[in-house]
Amino acid sequence: MTKQNKAFKFRLYPNKEQEELLAKTFGCVRFIYNKMLAERKEIYEKFKDDKEALKEQKFPTPAKYKNEFPFPKEVDSLALANAQIHLQNAYENFFEGRAEFPKFKTKKKKQSYTTNMVNDNIKLENGYIKLPKIKKPIRVKQHREIPADYKIKSCTISKTKTGKYYISILTEYEKNISTVKIQKVVGLDFVMDGLYVDSERGEKANYPRYYRQALDKLAKAQRILSRRKKGSTRWEKQRLKVAKLYEKTANQRRNFLHHKSKELAANYDAVIVEDLDMKSMSQALNFGKSVHDNGWGMFTTFLEYKLKEQGKQLVKISKWFPSTKKCSRCGNEKEMPLSERVYKCICGLVLDRDYNSAINIKKEGLCLLALA
């Protein structure tokens, strides 16, 4: 039996008093995070050329600011402690080359804080959830049950730009996951206009491109917003309309990706994809909107955890593997400009370029599985 984690996300409906306390917590977490980051940034600028001296420096903790300012004492102390942990993780990611230098938080974007389960301080029952520092339980729309043997570890409360509140409950449970014998395998080649092409029948996922569909509405709504006086009642109403359009597009995309990843995880024992750098691809090839619209990174994340839960595998092959240039029949390689949509080989193979790539990705993945 191994310990597994799973998160459940529900909509929250706080009353006015609870909204005020949540807003205060969001603000305090953001304030403490930014204060700690400002000091860390100052230390980094001073010792960035001397790594050994930088490692020896002591960084500030939330306790320091509680003595200087009274308001952080009014909110959940675990939320402030988690802000310190998040900053530490962001710092480590920067030093290990996985991310850019941490940025300051702003209230203009999505707001959130995380608290932990300590001595049963979080309770979910009868459509309400009790959270630390909030006297009355908050109403929650629990659309699915959390199994009784799942233990709550932490909760992340968030507020979207449209003013909606959500809670993500992280749970821990024990499960005996046995590795599935790999029999059915599929290779997926990323495509801009349909998410992916599979290696079995050359079929596309037929992703509807929700962002592209909403572009005209978004452009019109943003033009109206630009004419409003910032901060006025009419500006706020229009800002909310724009935020709702973006939120709807994001929800449609997430829903589609969940369904497609679930379908693949149910039908195959291993799925093989390329380990692509989507950010570099969008910048180098000017495909920013298409890459953003597809949500390939989110799709592979969903696919990975859904396969893992069933003892199956997601295999990522190198992004430098010449899946587009290589013939899937004879292995011959040739240059393939983006304008050329059909792969024609000297061996007589004539195939859609994406279908050919998907077959090559599958073959390379099978080699990696055999080596493993």
Q: Please tell me the predicted confidence (pLDDT) of residue 291.
A: 72
User: Are the C-beta atoms of 222 and 244 separated by less than 8 Å?
Assistant: no
The pLDDT value recorded for residue 193 is: 82
So which residues are the catalytic ones?
189, 274, 354
* Cα–Cα distance measured from residue 331 to residue 334, given in angstroms and rounded to the nearest whole number: 10
Residue boundaries of the structural domains of the chain: 2-175, 185-206+264-371
pLDDT at 288: 66
Position 287 scores a pLDDT of 67
Could you tell me the two tokens for 74?
Answer: 């009014």
Contacts of 235 (CB under 8 A, 6+ apart): 225, 228, 229
Q: Locate tokens 């959830």: which residue?
A: 129
Question: How many C-beta atoms surround the C-beta of residue 59 within 10 A?
Answer: 14
Residue with the two structure tokens 């693949």: 264
Q: Mean pLDDT, 10 residues at a time, over the chain (372 residues)? A: 90 96 95 93 82 75 87 92 93 86 89 94 93 94 92 96 95 89 93 90 90 93 96 94 95 95 95 86 68 85 94 93 91 88 90 94 92 67
Q: Which two tokens stand for residue 163?
A: 């003013």
What 3-state class would DSSP assign to 300? Answer: helix
Amino acid 372: pLDDT: 61
Q: How far apart are CA 372 and CA 353, in angstroms?
A: 29
pTM score, whole prediction: 0.87
